[in-house]
């Protein structure tokens, strides 16, 4: 990630992307992910979105924090209401967004996620 300046280029996410591409699907039930460290919040979410069945990891998030990979602030932010987070989140309620969601809901050939 630091060599590419891409904050999303974690090994777990890259592995999930490659597996989904290889399998031709976005769900990976039955898949197992091995990682050198407990997944960060982003990777953890990707594991759930991909429906991976198990994750095996070596170092804990606390051990990672001890050497500078501290994601505790993100874990702490996730359960907060958007208006209480340290980054500004603004809900721009719009009729256009509601129409897009309704169009997706009614789309006959949509792939359920």
Selected catalytic residue, list 12, 63, 83, 95: 12
pTM, rounded to two decimals: 0.83
**What is the spatial distance between Cα 69 and Cα 54, in angstroms, rounded to a whole number?**
23
Residue ranges of the domains in the chain? 2-106
% the chain with pLDDT above 70: 98
pLDDT for position 96 = 84
Domain 2-106 has CATH 3.40.140.10: yes
Q: Is 63 a catalytic residue?
A: no
Read off the pLDDT of residues 32-82 as tens digits, 9 standing for 90 and up.
999 999 999 999 999 999 999 999 999 999 999 999 988 999 999 999 999
Q: Is the sign of the CA dihedral 44, 47, 49, 53 positive or negative?
A: negative
Which of 23, 33, 28, 26 is closest to 54 using CA atoms? 33
pLDDT for position 1 = 61
């Amino acid at each position: 990630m630091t060599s590419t300046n891409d904050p999303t280029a974690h090994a777990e996410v890259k592995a999930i992307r490659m597996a989904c591409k290889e399998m031709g699907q976005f769900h990976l039930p039955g898949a197992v992910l091995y990682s050198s460290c407990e997944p960060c919040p982003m990777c953890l979410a990707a594991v759930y979105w991909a429906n991976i069945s198990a994750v095996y990891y070596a170092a804990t998030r606390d051990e990672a924090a001890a050497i500078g990979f501290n994601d505790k602030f993100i874990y702490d932010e996730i359960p907060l209401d958007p208006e209480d987070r340290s980054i500004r989140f603004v809900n721009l309620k719009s009729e256009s967004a509601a129409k897009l969601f309704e169009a997706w809901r009614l789309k006959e050939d949509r792939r359920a996620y």
